[in-house]
Amino acid sequence: MARVVAVTGNEAVAEAMRQVNPDVCAAYPITPATDIMQRFTGFVSNGKVKTEMVLVESEHSAMSACVGASAAGGRVATATSSQGLALMWEELFIASGTRLPIIMTLVNRALSAPLNIHGDHSDGMGARDCGWIQLWSENAQEAYDNMIQSFRIAEHMDIRMPAMVCLDGFIISHSIERMEYLDDAVVKNFIGEFKQLNPLLDIEHPVSYGPLILTDLYMEYRRAHAEVMSKVSQVVLDVAQDFEKISGRKYGLFETYRLDDAEIGLVILNSAAGTSKDAVDVFRDKGIKAGLLKPRLYRPFPYEEIGEALKHLKAVCVLDRADAFGASYGPLFMDIASGIYPYKDRPLLINKIYGLGGRDYMPEHAELVLAELAEVAKTGRVKTFKEYIGVRE
């Protein structure tokens, strides 16, 4: 029987990790992710897990230790935020390039400078193209569910890629909400035994990880990586189907909310999607056909499926909690735009940058955006394609 609990997002993730019982975890404290590994350390100390836990001297070392442990054939997990992820940058590519199914929770937080510890998506967006799978989560329940599913996805024999599970710093990581835990035995059975693939120290079958490969074969490795990424969507859907059987909760590549007959729509990641759904309801009550799409699998980005889901709308606003400085639009916008580009009749797209450094995103913000979209849909004209909202100009 599932247990109904009231916990924070971090607590939920730590509980998922306890139930998974990884072989090795490496950690270095960073706000707001510290709490996850902190709680997990308690499980280690209390003998609730058999994990080998190592506190290292930096996040670069944390990911390096994960790479080593994973290459040796262990099931490996860690967690970080912001600057921690930035410092891991070099090793992120080593993990994905050597096909190591490491699981990392990323508690999204703004990047320095100036220093800010609150939630935005700059960190995850900065690492979006490093070859990792990224699953984004609206609330503690989704973070927990994504954590459990991520092991199955990353460790799938056709995939063997590292995966990040993202949740909003403080807004979700430190807020208590009602959610459901699965039974330990159910989780254990769901994720199954860890299967090694080309582990080090198997002296009958010696392997090399990450050697020098120059112009002769490097490009083929990258091509193979791209090939693997193209298979992830189907695995995510298969795992979600199995997960529904044990939890009753349905997951896809993305979530749609009142979108099927919508004329205007919002595309938004993580916790702010919850706020936006309320605004969608307000507009529906007024007789305006509003809807919402919340990406879940952000890398690899299911652009074909998302394009298909949005193509019938008249106007769409993509809300980004990070900017891509010097690029035309925010990172999520650019992905959405590429998804709907192939369609001759496609919605008009606008982009809003919101909530940087933890700035509050309120229902009124979503309502203002929806009002603007209704106008765009009616007139067919866009006044401003990209704009910061909730900012002092």
Partner 1 sequence: MDYLSKKYLRPRKIPSTACSGCGLGMNHKAVVQAIYELGLEVEDIVWGTSIGCAGRQTFGTWKGDGFAGTHGRVYAIARGLRLTLPPEKKIILTVGDGDAFGIGLLHLIHSARSNADLTIIVNDNLGYMSTGGQYGWTTPHGSKTDSSPYGMYEHNLMSDGMDVLGVLKHAGATFLARHVAMDGQRAVESIKKGIRNRGLSLIHMVYPCPTNFGSRELGTRDTIKMYDYIKSQSAPMGEEKENTLWATGIYHDTSDSRPEFSENIHKNIEKIRRAAAV
Chain contacts with partner 1 (rule: CB under 8 A)? 28-31, 34-35, 38, 41-42, 45, 55, 57-59, 83, 86-87, 112-115
Q: Give the C-alpha separation, 108 to 121, whole Å.
A: 6
As given in the structure block, the two tokens for residue 129 are: 């193209």
Give the shortest CB-158-to-partner 1 separation in angstroms. 37
DSSP result, 176-199: EEEEEEPPHHHHHHHH-SPPPSS-
CA 16/CA 40 separation, integer angstroms: 10
State which residue, 35 or 138, has the beta carbon closest to partner 1: 35
Shortest distance, position 114 Cβ to partner 1, whole Å: 8
- List the 290-295 sheet strands across, edge first: 254-257, 290-295, 264-267, 315-320, 348-353, 386-388
In whole angstroms, what is the distance from residue 289 CA to residue 378 CA? 12
For 299, the enclosing helix (H) or strand (E) is strand 297-299
User: Residue 96 or 116: which CB sits closer to partner 1?
Assistant: 116
Q: Output the smallest distance, CB 25 to partner 1, in A.
A: 12
Q: Which is nearer to partner 1, 113 or 212 (CB)?
A: 113
Residue 65 one-letter amino acid: A
φ, ψ dihedrals at 298, nearest 5°? -95, -30
Minimum distance, C-beta of residue 163 to partner 1, in the bound complex (Å): 24
What is the rounded distance in angstroms from the CA atom of residue 387 to the CA atom of residue 393? 11
Closer by beta carbon to partner 1, 87 or else 191: 87
Output the smallest distance, CB 57 to partner 1, in A. 4
Please give the angle made by the CA atoms of 93, 270 and 104, to the nearest 5 degrees: 30
Decide: helix, strand or coil at residue 391.
coil
Nearer to partner 1, 174 or 312 (CB): 174
Residue 28 or 144: the one with the smaller Cβ distance to partner 1 is 28
Cβ-proximal residues to 310 (8 Å cutoff; 6+ apart), any chain: 259, 265, 267, 293, 316, 336, 339, 340, 346, 347
Cβ distance to partner 1 smaller for residue 34 or 78? 34
Nearest distance, CB of residue 329 and partner 1, angstroms: 27
Minimum distance between the CB of residue 112 and partner 1, rounded to whole angstroms? 5
179 closest CA partner among 138, 133, 118: 138
